[in-house]
Chain A
Amino acid sequence: RKEVEQDPGPFNVPEGATVAFNCTYSNSASQSFFWYRQDCRKEPKLLMSVYSSGNEDGRFTAQLNRASQYISLLIRDSKLSDSATYLCVVRPYNFNKFYFGSGTKLNVKP
């Protein structure tokens, strides 16, 4: 079983739509959680960390559900520039090792 599982998509949404991605992780001892964004043929870049109480950064909201072992990313008022692949990332407790999901592809259309 993979450490981190994501729906590969693609999610095709119109501009202005709200879209949500989920990601599940298998290790209940996981400690840190992140969402990274990867544009086509580019390197992954940190979008946001995910905190236990949930956190928001502009149009982006991240949530963590430890009981069900999933994290989510909500994007409001989608922009064309949000088109990318979103990678869910999990770090087990006391390890400096990140486990990346395979990514969810988002296409925002005019």
Chain B
Amino acid sequence: DAGVIQSPRHEVTEMGQEVTLRCKPISGHNSLFWYRQTMMRGLELLIYFNNNVPIDDSGMPEDRFSAKMPNASFSTLKIQPSEPRDSAVYFCASSPGTSGGNEQFFGPGTRLTVL
């Protein structure tokens, strides 16, 4: 079975450019999470969706970040305009339930470098 799929795996871009990260959760999972990981701040939850609806976006750093989940099998995280401080590994994760207490399955991550 395919796990969580993320693309691209690596992205190098210049400051000011738009960046779009993509995620396909595990089929049948109802919850989807976007995380950012840096050495300084560790793993931070940016936003999560239950049944395609955004539930908590309090972790989204600022208006430059936006996330969508148009259907159960696809989500995007967009940064516009990107800045060097956005450089990090961005993970998408999904879990089977919406009430919590379930394992989260992580994708391989997108390593973003903003020059």
**Which chain A residues have a beta carbon within 8 Å of chain B's beta carbons?**
31-32, 34, 42-46, 49, 87, 91, 94-103
Contact = CB atoms under 8 A, between A and B. Distances in A.
Contacts of B33: 98
B96 to A, nearest CB: 11
Interface of B: 31, 33, 35, 42-43, 45, 48, 50, 55-56, 91, 95, 97-101, 103-104, 106-109
Nearest to A49: B103
Nearest to B92: A43
A43 B99 contact: no
B103 A87 contact: no
A103 B31 contact: no
Contacts of A100: 35, 42-43, 45
A95 B102 CA distance: 11
Given A46-B103, A97-B56, 17 more contacts: A31-B101, A34-B103, A43-B91, A44-B43, A45-B106, A46-B104, A91-B101, A96-B31, A96-B50, A96-B98, A97-B45, A97-B100, A98-B33, A98-B45, A98-B104, A100-B35, A101-B42
A20 to B, nearest CB: 21
B106 A31 contact: no
